[in-house]
Structure 1
């Protein structure tokens, strides 16, 4: 059962589990569980895609309950009228807060984008970040005798592919569990010492004006058991 965090006559929002595809894809033919199909069966009606979260990312995911609602909600995302807040656990001690204004070159997947025409272009990308807590743990990782982590709040102001993962890697503080842009030794260390088998990136909150009631709406998704266990081990308050 998927955790439903909000539902009305126009839209539904769930807390997407990590490592679950949003919809069926020929790139993952072996997969048998998908968010759209599971949610449709759970509530007994079709749902319409509004936005996506990467497979390894958990958190707030919104669907329209009609094609009209889906279009209206999609426009809010396209027009950047959605305020998004993510949380991540990253390698090392990231200090303070700031803005990452670092353009990103389009990422083309060798399979999914094999028919894409033209060269990838470089696009503007902006992310606000704020460090919430830091910790040093007495476990050796690679050439270091201990490991350091930071708990970070991230607010993307643009919507580029893998933006948060790539921006944190650009700062030399990759997100734990990121196999594409992260630190493999740190990922193995987190799995061995803290049972972390996922990307530590969570879409915590989504705020926008409801397109039909015109009332402000804030959707919040709680973190999963892996997050809770790591926060407890690190002494971080939830």
Structure 2
């Protein structure tokens, strides 16, 4: 079953019974989690676009699981704000409006900045050396060749390392919930004319502050990076929404 099949129109098929047996070796919770993780990946990478209908029967067939497990996965995705139930359609990938996105950026800015400050305080230069090499060589190449999927993946790895290094579970959980809602949007912003090159400069500046252990600069630069992303979104909103 191909990924594109999941994004076809049509109402979600609801049923009071399961039409596919769950293998005994795979606990229901584990299999539901697998489905959830994969659908989150497809939404983030824009394989499943906003408004795409997720059909229970097709997903159950693709993963070889019961519809109950699919519904369990849908419940988690709905709690994360990634999908919603629409009358006469069923489960649909959520579509954020302009005001919601601006609100998310407003919340992300201080949280991402705080993570950068804590990460600078908690780490040594050795932690950031692999990213120094990546941002000196691989990342500029991705911008030059227009490989923005690879660029976005590299940035996400850097961002997650900052969050991990902050060593603050509350911050991590908040950013996990907030950031995931606009992962796909971030990938659309990065392909805007000139944004990749500008973002690379901003990320390098943050990385330099982290490498030097300059907590104040790391926070200031990371917050400025967030504001810059919002400015590009506002400027090109008609192209990315």
* TM-score normalized with structure 1 length: 0.28
Structure index of larger Rg: 2
- Which structure is higher in strand share? 1
- Could you say which structure has the greater relative contact order, defined with CA pairs below 8 angstroms and 6 or more residues apart? 2
